[in-house]
Amino acid sequence: MLENVRGLVYVLGDNIDTDQIIPAQYLMYNPAIPEEYRMFGKYALSGVPAAQAGLPHGHVPFHGPEDEFVSPYRIIVAGRNFGCGSSREHAPIALNAAGIRVVVAEFFARIFYRNAVNGGYLVPFESVERLVEKIRTGDEVEIDVANARLINHTTGQIHPLKPLGDIAPILAAGGLFAYAGQAGLLSSRSPMAS
Protein backbone atom coordinates (compact mmCIF):
# COMPACT_ATOMS: atom_id res chain seq x y z
CA MET A 1 0.00 0.00 0.00
CA LEU A 2 1.24 3.47 -0.83
CA GLU A 3 1.93 5.79 2.07
CA ASN A 4 0.89 9.42 2.33
CA VAL A 5 3.52 11.97 1.38
CA ARG A 6 3.88 15.23 3.28
CA GLY A 7 6.32 18.03 2.58
CA LEU A 8 6.99 21.30 0.83
CA VAL A 9 5.42 21.81 -2.58
CA TYR A 10 6.98 23.30 -5.71
CA VAL A 11 4.53 24.84 -8.19
CA LEU A 12 5.12 24.85 -11.95
CA GLY A 13 3.18 26.05 -14.97
CA ASP A 14 1.84 24.31 -18.08
CA ASN A 15 3.76 22.26 -20.66
CA ILE A 16 6.82 21.47 -18.57
CA ASP A 17 8.70 19.25 -20.99
CA THR A 18 11.30 16.56 -20.45
CA ASP A 19 14.09 18.81 -21.75
CA GLN A 20 13.22 21.29 -19.00
CA ILE A 21 13.02 18.54 -16.38
CA ILE A 22 16.50 17.26 -17.27
CA PRO A 23 18.35 19.12 -20.04
CA ALA A 24 20.18 17.04 -22.66
CA GLN A 25 23.67 18.09 -21.55
CA TYR A 26 23.17 16.12 -18.30
CA LEU A 27 22.25 12.85 -20.02
CA MET A 28 25.93 11.89 -20.03
CA TYR A 29 25.44 10.61 -16.49
CA ASN A 30 24.44 6.99 -15.92
CA PRO A 31 21.59 6.52 -13.40
CA ALA A 32 22.80 2.96 -12.70
CA ILE A 33 25.94 4.39 -11.03
CA PRO A 34 25.01 5.81 -7.58
CA GLU A 35 27.44 8.75 -7.75
CA GLU A 36 26.09 9.73 -11.16
CA TYR A 37 22.45 9.12 -10.16
CA ARG A 38 22.87 11.98 -7.68
CA MET A 39 23.78 14.31 -10.55
CA PHE A 40 20.30 13.83 -12.04
CA GLY A 41 18.90 15.22 -8.79
CA LYS A 42 21.29 18.15 -8.85
CA TYR A 43 20.22 19.21 -12.35
CA ALA A 44 16.51 18.35 -12.13
CA LEU A 45 14.31 21.21 -13.39
CA SER A 46 17.37 23.24 -14.34
CA GLY A 47 15.89 23.88 -17.79
CA VAL A 48 12.59 25.35 -16.58
CA PRO A 49 12.20 29.00 -17.64
CA ALA A 50 11.97 31.45 -14.73
CA ALA A 51 8.44 32.44 -15.80
CA GLN A 52 7.24 28.89 -15.14
CA ALA A 53 9.23 28.17 -11.99
CA GLY A 54 7.78 28.66 -8.55
CA LEU A 55 4.41 29.89 -9.84
CA PRO A 56 2.28 31.81 -9.13
CA HIS A 57 4.64 34.33 -7.55
CA GLY A 58 7.66 34.36 -9.81
CA HIS A 59 10.91 32.43 -9.89
CA VAL A 60 11.80 30.36 -6.84
CA PRO A 61 14.87 28.10 -7.02
CA PHE A 62 14.18 24.34 -6.94
CA HIS A 63 17.49 23.66 -5.19
CA GLY A 64 19.32 25.42 -2.41
CA PRO A 65 23.05 26.14 -2.63
CA GLU A 66 25.03 25.01 -5.68
CA ASP A 67 26.37 21.86 -3.99
CA GLU A 68 22.97 20.35 -3.11
CA PHE A 69 21.82 17.24 -4.93
CA VAL A 70 18.40 16.93 -3.29
CA SER A 71 15.75 19.64 -3.33
CA PRO A 72 13.91 20.69 -0.14
CA TYR A 73 10.64 20.00 -2.00
CA ARG A 74 8.90 16.60 -1.98
CA ILE A 75 5.82 17.33 -4.10
CA ILE A 76 5.32 19.15 -7.40
CA VAL A 77 2.01 20.74 -8.40
CA ALA A 78 1.90 21.59 -12.09
CA GLY A 79 -0.52 22.64 -14.77
CA ARG A 80 -1.40 20.89 -18.00
CA ASN A 81 0.66 18.45 -20.06
CA PHE A 82 3.44 17.77 -17.55
CA GLY A 83 6.31 15.77 -19.05
CA CYS A 84 5.58 16.54 -22.69
CA GLY A 85 8.27 16.53 -25.36
CA SER A 86 10.67 13.66 -25.91
CA SER A 87 10.22 10.21 -24.44
CA ARG A 88 13.18 10.81 -22.13
CA GLU A 89 12.98 8.16 -19.41
CA HIS A 90 15.52 10.15 -17.41
CA ALA A 91 12.90 12.81 -16.55
CA PRO A 92 11.13 10.88 -13.74
CA ILE A 93 14.52 9.53 -12.64
CA ALA A 94 15.82 13.10 -12.24
CA LEU A 95 12.80 14.15 -10.16
CA ASN A 96 13.15 11.05 -7.97
CA ALA A 97 16.87 11.71 -7.50
CA ALA A 98 16.00 15.28 -6.44
CA GLY A 99 13.69 13.94 -3.71
CA ILE A 100 10.32 14.38 -5.43
CA ARG A 101 7.85 11.66 -4.43
CA VAL A 102 4.60 12.92 -6.01
CA VAL A 103 3.71 15.06 -9.01
CA VAL A 104 0.16 16.43 -9.22
CA ALA A 105 -0.77 17.81 -12.63
CA GLU A 106 -3.95 18.62 -14.51
CA PHE A 107 -2.84 15.92 -16.93
CA PHE A 108 0.40 14.25 -17.97
CA ALA A 109 2.04 13.46 -21.26
CA ARG A 110 1.43 9.72 -21.59
CA ILE A 111 5.06 8.68 -22.06
CA PHE A 112 6.17 10.55 -18.93
CA TYR A 113 3.26 9.02 -17.00
CA ARG A 114 4.19 5.50 -18.13
CA ASN A 115 7.88 6.01 -17.38
CA ALA A 116 7.07 7.29 -13.88
CA VAL A 117 4.80 4.32 -13.14
CA ASN A 118 6.82 1.59 -14.86
CA GLY A 119 9.97 2.55 -12.98
CA GLY A 120 8.16 3.29 -9.72
CA TYR A 121 9.99 6.62 -9.56
CA LEU A 122 7.14 8.82 -8.38
CA VAL A 123 3.38 8.88 -7.92
CA PRO A 124 1.58 10.80 -10.71
CA PHE A 125 -1.77 12.15 -9.48
CA GLU A 126 -4.10 14.11 -11.75
CA SER A 127 -5.98 17.01 -10.18
CA VAL A 128 -9.72 17.52 -10.49
CA GLU A 129 -9.32 21.32 -10.62
CA ARG A 130 -6.56 23.72 -11.66
CA LEU A 131 -4.33 24.06 -8.60
CA VAL A 132 -1.41 26.20 -9.77
CA GLU A 133 -3.19 29.41 -8.77
CA LYS A 134 -4.45 27.98 -5.46
CA ILE A 135 -1.21 26.61 -4.03
CA ARG A 136 2.07 28.47 -3.50
CA THR A 137 5.60 27.17 -3.72
CA GLY A 138 6.73 26.50 -0.15
CA ASP A 139 3.28 25.54 1.20
CA GLU A 140 3.34 22.42 3.31
CA VAL A 141 1.01 19.89 1.73
CA GLU A 142 0.08 16.28 2.20
CA ILE A 143 -1.02 13.80 -0.42
CA ASP A 144 -3.66 11.56 1.14
CA VAL A 145 -3.24 8.62 -1.22
CA ALA A 146 -6.10 6.43 0.01
CA ASN A 147 -8.63 9.25 -0.22
CA ALA A 148 -7.16 10.85 -3.37
CA ARG A 149 -6.85 14.37 -2.04
CA LEU A 150 -4.27 17.08 -1.46
CA ILE A 151 -4.36 18.71 1.96
CA ASN A 152 -2.70 22.12 2.15
CA HIS A 153 -1.61 22.40 5.79
CA THR A 154 -0.49 26.00 5.20
CA THR A 155 -3.94 27.25 4.12
CA GLY A 156 -6.21 24.51 5.48
CA GLN A 157 -7.70 23.86 2.03
CA ILE A 158 -8.40 20.36 0.73
CA HIS A 159 -8.39 19.61 -3.00
CA PRO A 160 -9.71 16.39 -4.58
CA LEU A 161 -7.48 14.34 -6.88
CA LYS A 162 -8.40 11.65 -9.37
CA PRO A 163 -7.90 8.15 -7.89
CA LEU A 164 -4.81 6.23 -9.02
CA GLY A 165 -6.87 3.22 -10.08
CA ASP A 166 -5.03 0.29 -11.61
CA ILE A 167 -1.58 1.84 -11.26
CA ALA A 168 -1.71 1.89 -7.44
CA PRO A 169 -0.51 -1.72 -6.95
CA ILE A 170 2.27 -1.21 -9.54
CA LEU A 171 3.52 1.86 -7.66
CA ALA A 172 3.16 0.13 -4.29
CA ALA A 173 5.34 -2.73 -5.57
CA GLY A 174 8.03 -0.30 -6.70
CA GLY A 175 7.44 -0.44 -10.46
CA LEU A 176 6.25 -2.70 -13.24
CA PHE A 177 8.92 -5.41 -13.02
CA ALA A 178 8.64 -5.65 -9.23
CA TYR A 179 4.85 -5.87 -9.56
CA ALA A 180 5.09 -8.54 -12.26
CA GLY A 181 7.46 -10.55 -10.07
CA GLN A 182 5.17 -10.30 -7.02
CA ALA A 183 2.16 -11.26 -9.13
CA GLY A 184 3.94 -14.31 -10.56
CA LEU A 185 3.86 -12.90 -14.08
CA LEU A 186 7.58 -13.45 -14.71
CA SER A 187 8.98 -16.84 -15.57
CA SER A 188 11.66 -18.11 -13.22
CA ARG A 189 13.91 -18.40 -16.32
CA SER A 190 13.46 -14.73 -17.16
CA PRO A 191 16.61 -12.63 -16.57
CA MET A 192 14.38 -9.90 -15.09
CA ALA A 193 13.03 -12.30 -12.43
CA SER A 194 16.29 -12.41 -10.49
CATH number, residue 135: 3.20.19.10
What's the whole-number mean pLDDT along residues 67-86? 93
Which residues touch 114 (CB under 8 Å, ≥6 apart)? none
| CA within 13 Å, CB half, 104 | 29
The proportion of the chain whose per-residue pLDDT surpasses 90, expressed as a percent, equals: 79
Q: Which of 65-69, 145-149, 164-168 has the lowest mean pLDDT?
A: 65-69
What pLDDT score was predicted for residue 63?
83
pTM above 0.85, yes or no: yes
More confident of the two residues 105 and 192? 105
What pLDDT score was predicted for residue 17?
96
**Alpha helices, H only, the chain:** 18-21, 34-43, 90-97, 110-119, 168-173, 176-182
Q: Report the domain count for the chain.
A: 1
What pLDDT score was predicted for residue 5?
98
Given a cut of 60, whether residue 193 has pLDDT beyond it is no
Residue at 71 is within a domain = yes
Given a cut of 80, whether residue 66 has pLDDT beyond it is no
Residue at 116 is within a domain = yes
Residue at 108 is within a domain = yes
Residue at 146 is within a domain = yes
122 neighbors 167 (Cβ within 8 angstroms) = no
Structural domain boundaries enclosing 50: 5-166
Q: What does the buried/exposed string (b/e) look like for 88-125 if buried means 16 or more CB atoms within 10 Å of the residue's CB?
A: bbbbbbbbbbbbbbbbbbbbbbebbbbbbbbbbbbbbb
Given a cut of 60, whether residue 87 has pLDDT beyond it is yes
Which residues touch 143 (CB under 8 Å, ≥6 apart)? 4, 5, 6, 75, 102, 104, 123, 125, 149, 150, 151, 161
d(Cα 141, Cα 125) in Å, to the nearest integer? 14
What's the whole-number mean pLDDT along residues 50-56? 71
**Neighbour count for residue 63 (Cβ, 10 Å):** 20
What's the whole-number mean pLDDT along residues 130-156? 96
Residue at 81 is within a domain = yes
What's the whole-number mean pLDDT along residues 130-153? 96
What pLDDT score was predicted for residue 187?
72
